[in-house]
Structure formats: structure tokens, C-alpha cells
Structure 1
Amino acid sequence: MAKQAVIYKTEAGEREILRRYEEILAGWPVPAGRHHVPTREGDTFVLVSGPEDAPPLVLLHGSGSNAAMWAGDVAAWARHFRVHAVDMIGEPGLSARSRPPLDSTAYADWLDDVLDHFGLDSAAFTGASLGGWLALDYAIRRPRRVDRLAVLCPGGVGRQKFGFLFKVALYRPFGAWGLRRSIKAVAGVDPGDTPEVADYLTLMFTHFQPRRDRLPVFSDEALRGLAMPVKVIVGARDAMFDSAETARRVENTVPHAEVTVLPDVAHSIIGQTQPIMDFLTR
């Protein structure tokens, strides 16, 4: 069994995060099956919805999150796809706490186990942030298993920024209010606009231990190997990744890719359900 990491600050905090997650799952907008998939990294939770005979779509969430991040998208996507929303290992969901090195084949091997469990030779993939990095990593290492690739604010392409840590430290002494302010400053999530999302992120980062490793950057050669249809969406005000560099590198190395830069959007990208649907069903 893979080594399990410490990902929660306290057991009480873990219970509160998972309690809230169960509430979200209980209100999932479409019927869904819960699967605990055995893998080499430990059990992996996958929420599956949509027609059994529909083409498969795999969703990979960002760091400090779980399948709940797709609750606003899944109803539309599940009309056309058999949607597999995966809780990434080492993150605050219902999967194992394993965190193998990011610069290894471990995550591709783990996803092989997930796809094999469902009998999927290949699938379309959509990922956000860390999940975008993971989707790109898998597409580069397993190109025959990725039919289409849509990523939101992906890591591993543009420069990873760390200036946001100053803002986090600045607001840290101010408790829950400061945490909400730092979430707005870093992710662009405004508690006044999306209070439920802001509250959930506040809960996560009150009790969750985020990864500290720098994301490996994909080489130009690796990106040039992406022959499948690719769509990349970034926010120009992203505080975590250099979106301009992400767009430029993708345009230069994957000329057939569709690249969208949202001018007034930060790291948290919402409202892209239909554009991604249009791309996936083309």
C-alpha cells in the first residue's frame, strides 16, 4: 500500500470537511453512482453520472478541492457523457491520502488503474489547476487514452507564482475574515458573489494541509506531442500562474489548440460549462 500523507491539520477538521462534502454529494444535481476504486495508491473515490452508453468524460479537480467543484457543470455534461468525477489522491475528498512525487509516473499509473476499473480504453478529460496539470501529464504520458483535453488555469505551463503567499500571510492574523480576504485575493472568489463557494474554500483551508511542492513544468517537446484536440482557458488576473505565458506557450507548441484568455478573471474560473461542452461535443 502506498504511503499515506498527513493532509488535515486535525481530526476534527477532517470530520467537518467530509461532513460538508457528504452534504454536497447528497444534493448532487443528477443521479450518480459512488465508486471506491482499488488502485496502487489506495482506494480512489469516483462519482459517476450520465447514460451508461454515452462517451466517457473524466473530471479532475484542483488542489484543496474534490468532485464538489463540478456540481455546477455536471447536469449539462451528464446529458451527453458518462461523467467520471474523480477525487484526486492526497486531496480533501474520499480518496486515499497518498501523495507520490509529482515528477514521477505515479499519477499516470494511478489514472491507468481508474480507467481500467471502468473498462475505459480512452476518455475525454477536463481538469482545473492541479487537475489541469494532471490531465496534461496524463495526455503527454498516455496520449492514446485521451480523446479530447480541456483544461482550466492549468499548472505546469506558465510560470508558477508565489507572490500570493505574501497576501495570505498578510491576512492570516485576522482569522476567518482574513482567510476569506486571502481567498478573494488569490483565487478571485468574492464571498459577496458566491458565498457558498467562499465558505467551502474557507472551511478547506482552515483545516487542510495543501501541497508544498512546485509543479513540474512541461517541456516544449512534451507539449508538442499533444495531437488530440485541446482547449485551454485561463484568467488574465490569475495570482497563481502566469496566464499570458501559459497562453503563449500553448499557442506556440500546440498550434491546433483553442486558447481563451478571460480578461477580468482570476484563478477560479466559473461559467465555462457551455464553452467546454461545445468543445467536447464538436
Structure 2
Amino acid sequence: MSNHASFISSPNDSGNHYYQTYEESLTLWPVTYEAFYVSTRFGQTHIIASGPKDAPPLILLHGALFSSTMWYPNMADWSRKYRTYAIDIMGDKNKSVPEDLNGTRAGYAEWLLDVFDNLGIKKANMVGLSLGGLHVMNFVLRAAERVEKAVLLSPAETFVSFHPDFYKYALGLALPNGVENFLKWMMGDRYVLHPNFAKQFHAGVLWENELRNPKPRADGFPYVFTDDELKSVKIPILLLLSEHEVIYDPQSALYRASTYVPGIEAEIVKNAGHVLSMEQPEYVNGRVLRFLDV
């Protein structure tokens, strides 16, 4: 495996520890990769790329606090046919380095446009989980001409508001046993994070960095898109929700998405919770490829 990434900032001790755990999680990556940075007007964006360089591009956007390393169960399948770009979302806990993050929905779309342009990508397929799914939908609505097809996996809000329990567990992450309680709530007895990845998640929670934990704002995220916004979608979208979702009611999300988004393919995946790409990778990998390959 090649890894061209290097420290381009000077994180504090907790940041250095986080960077170390990130690299340990990358040992789970099942295929050859390149890790590098691209410049944007909002800071340095860290990317993990795999697959044939001449293959069609597939952009991957991770869940909050999970970083791009979360895609390791999906890489072997997706990188056979696609040049995958797992992008560390600016402002979240990962290896991207925010410099001028305004945190608005328009700003996040501009950030991704910078990434596309600097990678030389005119148009790509996109997959996003949770926070990443919200980013994908936001980008689809603001730059549809740059997206072939989009896959939303358990998108954060987007269609319906968070359950109040989400804030209870999320705000309690930094408390004693907070991480354990959060993961137990989200994953139940179905799934246990790999020790390397669990260590990285813990380190991210403990990493205090204001630039990587932007304050909520009215024109930022999280966000539930309006009926008119959903009706304006112009590209094919696949929505995969989870049978055991806890951050919101999946049936309500399925109903609203199916009602308003033109031509959407939407389903609820059995025996899966919020992070369904990790809990049920075999099914999700195949379902995503079937959608993209048509």
C-alpha cells in the first residue's frame, strides 16, 4: 500500500493520537490505496483513493466521527469497477484540515466543487452515509450537473428530524462510558466495531478541536429538506434505510422520500442498524453496484 499523506498541520497531543489511530484503522483497508491532500478554499482535504485510475469516479462521504476509514468493508467490491475517492468531510473529526470553514449548506457544496475540480472530476457517482448522505443530497440539489447517480445510506435528517434520543446520546459521548453507551444504542447486539476502528472513534470523541467541531447554524447542518427541494431532484437516487434505525423513524423517512423525490429507489435493509454499510456490507455492496451499473 502506498500512503503519500503526511502531517500538514501540528495537532495537539490528542490530535497526534487521533492521527495515529487513523493510520491503524487504515491497516484494515483491503486493497491498495493512495492517501493525499487536495487544496480547497476552505482548507486541505484528505482523501483515500483506490481502484483503477482510469475507472469511473465514485465519491464516498462518511458518517460523523467515523471518517473515511469506515469504508474498509466496502472497498474490495467497489474499487474493482470504480476509482473510489473516500473524502474526509471538512469540519468533522478526521485528517482534513479546515482553514476557513463557513459551515453553511452553500459553503459545503462549494467545498465539494473545489474537491471535484482539483481531482479533475467532471461528473461522478456519489455514496454517503449519515452525515455523508446529508452532504450528498445537499450537493445533488446544488450541483446536479456534476452527479451521475447518488446513494444515500441512513442519511442524517434529510427527510425527517432526529429522534430526541439522538441528542441525548450524542451530547453524552464525552461522559464516562459515553462512547460505549452511544455505540450500544446505535448498534445493539448486532455489531461490534473492529478494535482498531473503535480506538479511532474513541480518539476522535476525545480530540478537542474547535475547527473540527463547528457550531450549528441555521443555514448549515443538520437539515431536513423541504418538499419543494426534494421534488426538484433531477438525478437517480437510491435510498437505503435500516430496519433497526434509532436516530429517526425509518418508515417515516421512507414514506417522505418515496412521496417527494422523483423516481427514487428506496428500501429498508433487514437486520441492519444506522451504519448499515458496516453491519451488512455484503448486501449493501451488491445493492449499490446494481444501482450504479444499470
Report the TM-score range of the alignment, normalised by the length of the smaller protein: 0.7 to 0.9
Closer, same or farther: CA 192–73 of 1 in aligned 2, 3 Å: closer
| 1:170 positional shift | 7.4
Range that drifts further, 65-74 or 270-279: 270-279
Closer, same or farther: CA 191–97 of 1 in aligned 2, 3 Å: farther
Matched residues in 2 for 1:171 and 1:52: separation?
39
Report the counterpart of residue 112 of structure 2 in structure 1: 111
Matched residues in 2 for 1:87 and 1:183: separation?
21
Report the counterpart of residue 7 of structure 1 in structure 2: none
State which of 210, 218, 229 in structure 1 corresponds to 2:225: 218
One-letter identity of the residue aligned with 1:250:
A
* Contact preservation (8 Å) 1:61, 1:127: yes
Report the counterpart of residue 167 of structure 2 in structure 1: 165
Query: 1:126-275 maps to which residues of 2 (within 5 A)?
Result: 126-155=127-156, 156-167=158-169, 175=176, 177-185=177-185, 187-188=186-187, 190=189, 193-196=192-195, 197-207=197-207, 213=216, 215-269=222-276, 270=278, 271=280, 272-275=284-287
Closer, same or farther: CA 46–192 of 1 in aligned 2, 3 Å: closer
| 1:29 positional shift | 1.6
Closer, same or farther: CA 109–171 of 1 in aligned 2, 3 Å: closer
| 1:39 positional shift | 0.2
| 1:167 positional shift | 4.6
* Contact preservation (8 Å) 2:21, 2:203: no
CA RMSD of aligned residues (A): 2.4
Q: How many residues align?
A: 269
Closer, same or farther: CA 192–129 of 1 in aligned 2, 3 Å: closer
**Normalization by structure 1: what TM-score?**
0.86
| SS at 1:144 equivalent | helix
Q: What are the superposed Cα offsets for residues 35-64 of structure 1, whole Å, 9 maximum, x if unpaired? A: 210100011011111111111100000111
Report the counterpart of residue 4 of structure 1 in structure 2: none
Matched residues in 2 for 1:23 and 1:59: separation?
20
| 1:11 positional shift | 2.7
Matched residues in 2 for 1:100 and 1:119: separation?
24
* Contact preservation (8 Å) 1:47, 1:86: yes
| 1:112 positional shift | 0.7
- Matched residues, percent identical? 26
| 1:229 positional shift | 1.4
* Contact preservation (8 Å) 1:150, 1:232: yes
Closer, same or farther: CA 248–208 of 1 in aligned 2, 3 Å: farther
Contiguous gaps of at least 5 residues in structure 2? 1-10
Q: What are the superposed Cα offsets for residues 95-147 of structure 1, whole Å, 9 maximum, x if unpaired? A: 123542334x1111111111111211110000011100000000010111110
Report the counterpart of residue 280 of structure 1 in structure 2: 292
Contiguous gaps of at least 5 residues in structure 1? 1-9
Query: 1:13-32 maps to which residues of 2 (within 5 A)?
Result: 13-32=14-33
**Normalization by structure 2: what TM-score?**
0.83
